[in-house]
Structure 1
Amino acid sequence: MTTEQSNDHMVKEAYIMSQDYIRYVTGRTSKPAPSVATAALRHAGNDLLEKYPIFFKRWPRIFREVCADNACDYLFTMLDEHFQPEKPWQKKELTWSGILSIYVLAGQLAIYCQKNGMASVLEELEFRVGQYVERNVCPKIRESGGWSGFIERYARKEEPEHTIIRGCCGVLLLLGAMSLTYYIYRRRLY
């Protein structure tokens, strides 16, 4: 199923996020994020890379067996292993961080493929990651209100200092308006 064939907004968003994030991390787009969810994904991916750079340095070793013929299957095997419950009777909960890891891992594989002469795989990877999310994630997050929880968790938050500065400016503006009103009122009395 492609995004054009689906009328389900949540599924369309899964494909858009996949395409945008892979293009973003491989430098194949300089456009702004096409949606709030993709902006949140970009922000969360950048935040992870900034906070845990050592974690990302190990991926080239893990991907060394990847070739153009097996790149997507290799990724999905890794993801399926990650999301399998530890015991057969347990149910593995899908968390927002787990969903983020799908896209970030796909992005790391895309970077690896691009650097190692397998750029022809990138479009297929974009599409198949969208399919994977549609099949394995969308049914589970539909119950939790769609992508809104992801956006709430990973969207860029305003810094506390900015909130304080904005509050102070608002108070100063209010005091200035009150002083001006008082000045005009007093002038009319005299």
Structure 2
Amino acid sequence: MDTRFGINKGQSDSTTKAWLEKMKTLFIRKGCGFSSQSVITGDAYKGVNEIGLPFEIAQQITFEERVTQYNMQYLQKLVDEKLCLTYRDGLSTYSLREGSKGHTFLRPGQVVHRRIMDGDIVFINRPPTMHKHSLQALSVYVHNDHTVKINPLICGPLSVDFDGDCVHIFYPQSLVAKSEVLELFSVEKQLLSSHSATKECILDSF
């Protein structure tokens, strides 16, 4: 027993365990599995609506695709080319990683988790900035470097520069989420600033 505070060791361990569990609940478990964070650099040769994702990120993050009679052939091709990590059939999830047993033939109703590819839509933010133009929806291109790349012209609304700043990238999964992101965050919908009566072009802020 700790005579200074009147707390025995068992009680102290229990308090510590409860505190750690509380921290996990409040912070760790609030994280999102469909997001990533990376240092950002510039690429002036790409469009203002494009973002370069490192290959190592694109290999880990997935998008959900529900198998239908219309996309089954396309998704089967991705499965055959090892571009999908898992698929879900009912409540069960099965691995499609290298070394998994047998060949998988998809059926309508299953959900495939495919890797990020060129043309996918993501949106980015640099916390703690949270005004309207600090969320930008961009089209992905995958590259072999180790940083996320954007056109320098959209640095202004994101409040970033290239001295080691990091951005968060989010990967909308459902069709509803993707539609909402395109409608609200796409660059072409934000070319005019909402912060002044003069409607200053946000690209001029760089």
TM-score under structure 2 length normalisation: 0.22
**Bigger RCO of structures 1 and 2 (CA < 8 A, at least 6 apart):** 1
- Structure number with higher strand proportion: 2
Normalized against structure 1, the TM-score is what?
0.23
- Between Structure 1 and Structure 2, which shows a larger proportion of helix residues? 1
